Amino acid sequence: AMENSMLLHRLETAHRDLRETQERLIQGEKLAVLGEMAASVTHELKNPLVAIGGFAKRLEKFLADGSREQEYARIVAHEVTRMEEMLSNILAFSKKQMLCFDSCCIPDILHDALALEKDGQREKNIHLVTDIDQTLPLVQGDQQKLRQVFLNIFTNARQAMEQGGTLTVRAFAATMRGDPAVGVEVEDTGGGIPDDILRNIFNPFFTTKDEGTGLGLSISHRIIELHKGEIEVQNRQFGTAFILRFPVGLPLTTFH
């Protein structure tokens, strides 16, 4: 009787696991179809938006400086640009990622991304502190995608410090699951993230901002996973720190 009871329990457990797996597969298929639809709609919307934005910018140049009409044209051009960015993020999230791996120098990529963020940080009165080890080993990765990851994190840090603050970027030798790795830490003084929000920041379409799609960190998380890396976020005394680790010496090839 005890053996039969144990067998019945195992059978019920296996049946429950099988049902949960089936539900996940069905949900995955639905999300795949939804992603294809989103990609198709996004592609169709981008063409007319480009035309609208282009004509709005041309109108802005021809209208009298300081006029209400020029201000309206400027608003249209700005909002179109914002919509184009949103659609690009949705398209990047919904379509398959293709990465071209090569030997990458993480310190050089960090410097490139920081150079692109320089003007935005200056406008927000953000003081930059760097501690980047230039002697770190190379990693196998897609340089363009890694730059996108760092830019997304720097942008989030800048938006968290609306009244100014300090952005600290470190790059150092690390380990990951006992193997050599390159570590990157990005710390801001933006006050931190509430715990209930912290758990969801990598979820698609989750955002606490008035602007944006909430896809930046989700896309970054996916890119890091494709690089066999890790990312975690911690609240510190004055703000938030993102810690990234990338393995050294993995024989990676092109991924989709």
* CB-CB neighbours of 208 under 10 Å: 11
The stretch 216-235 carries a mean pLDDT of 86
Per-residue confidence (pLDDT) for residue 251, from 0 to 100:
46
Rounded Cα distance between 123 and 139, Å, is 33
- For residue 243, the surrounding DSSP H or E stretch is strand 240-247
DSSP codes of every residue in 70-105: HHHHHHHHHHHHHHHHHHHHHHHHHSPP-B--EEE-
- 114 — alpha (psi -120 to 50), left (phi > 0) or beta? alpha
Backbone φ and ψ of 98, nearest 5°: -115, 120
Instruction: List pLDDT tens digits, range 9-28.
Output: 888 888 888 887 877 777 66
- For residue 253, the surrounding DSSP H or E stretch is none
Q: What percent of the chain has pLDDT over 90?
A: 25
Mean pLDDT of the chain: 81
Instruction: List pLDDT tens digits, range 60-107.
Output: 888 888 888 889 888 888 888 877 777 776 666 666 666 778 899 999
